[in-house]
């Protein structure tokens, strides 16, 4: 299996890390058919990591419950595939573009989250087929916080990011690390009630998230993982949206 620089390492080297959080990034022109092979290869690697920035910006928007931003970022992600289509990438690019087009027109947060899970799985399928390893995950434990509510949120965010990397890599190690962290986070109704009004919808979402957490570590296969991640992301997004509505 060929190995390219890890996503985080290359993003840092290219000055793209900040783009993950704000949906920014640089635009790289499609490589000329007359460019030297090493230049074409480097441009392809750069473009691949730009795609990672763009799709991760979608994930960040959805975690925050912002489907409007996710739609705008889906358009940017789709437009990033214009230009050269390296050999073997065609079917996966078509699937990615089709999913992005679906995301661009949905107003439903749950549907948007499930589409994002499918998009991440498509990236992983392409990487697996091309025998490219793009995630070298080091199982570093997430930071802890003495406040139970804050600690719960930190653990869930860390788990969501590791499972996301597990889909895109694809990386069993990253997926398992995230799944175990997710299953290991517990919070009581009393802990939540100290910060939020426990509405029936938030309670329902917490039950669904617990179900996803229990299932994540035993789920195998890209299709099942991306479906479960879509459900988990939808739960996070809806809960966060309701939390923000309470603050308004």
Tell me the C-alpha distance between 175 and 165, whole Å: 7
- Name the DSSP letter for residue 23: T
Tell me the C-alpha distance between 21 and 23, whole Å: 6
- Report how far apart, in Å, the C-alpha atoms of 45 and of each of 30, 110, 125 are: 12, 32, 17
Q: What does the pLDDT profile of the chain (248 residues) look like in tens digits?
A: 544 434 433 333 223 323 333 333 433 444 444 445 554 455 556 677 788 899 999 999 999 889 999 999 999 999 998 876 778 889 999 999 999 999 999 999 999 999 999 999 999 999 999 888 777 655 677 778 888 888 888 888 899 999 999 999 999 989 988 988 888 877 777 877 777 777 888 888 888 888 888 888 888 888 999 999 999 899 888 888 877 777 66
First-to-last CA distance in the chain? 50
Q: Which residues contact 83 (CB under 8 A, 6 or more apart)?
A: 29, 30
Tell me the C-alpha distance between 229 and 182, whole Å: 12
What is the pLDDT at residue 245? 78
What is the pLDDT at residue 9? 35
Tell me the C-alpha distance between 165 and 56, whole Å: 9
| Contact indicator for 103, 115 with CB cutoff of 8 Å | yes
What is the pLDDT at residue 213? 81
How much is the pTM? 0.77
What is the pLDDT at residue 28? 40
| Contact indicator for 116, 163 with CB cutoff of 8 Å | no
What is the pLDDT at residue 17? 28
- Name the DSSP letter for residue 169: T
């Amino acid at each position: 299996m060929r190995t390219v620089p890890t996503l985080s390492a290359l993003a840092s080297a290219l000055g793209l890390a900040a783009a993950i959080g704000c949906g920014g990034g640089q635009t790289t022109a499609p490589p000329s058919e007359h460019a030297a092979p090493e230049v074409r290869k480097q441009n392809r690697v750069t473009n691949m990591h730009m795609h990672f920035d763009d799709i991760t910006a979608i994930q960040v928007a959805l975690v925050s419950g912002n489907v409007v931003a996710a739609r705008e970022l889906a358009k940017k992600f789709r437009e990033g595939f214009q230009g050269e289509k390296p050999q073997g990438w065609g079917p996966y690019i078509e699937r990615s573009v089709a999913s992005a087009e679906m995301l661009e027109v949905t107003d439903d947060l749950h549907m948007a989250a499930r589409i994002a899970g499918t998009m991440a799985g498509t990236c992983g399928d392409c990487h697996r087929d091309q025998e490219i390893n793009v995630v070298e995950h080091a199982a570093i434990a997430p930071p802890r916080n003495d406040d139970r509510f804050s600690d719960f949120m930190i653990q869930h965010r860390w788990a969501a990011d590791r499972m996301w990397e597990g889909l895109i890599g694809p990386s069993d190690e990253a997926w398992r690390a995230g799944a175990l962290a997710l299953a290991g986070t517990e919070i009581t109704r009393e802990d939540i009630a100290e910060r939020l009004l426990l509405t029936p919808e938030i309670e329902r979402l917490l039950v669904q998230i617990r179900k996803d957490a229990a299932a994540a570590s035993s789920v195998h296969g890209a299709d099942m993982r991306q479906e479960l991640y879509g459900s988990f992301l939808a739960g996070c997004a809806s809960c966060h949206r309701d939390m923000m509505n309470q603050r308004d």
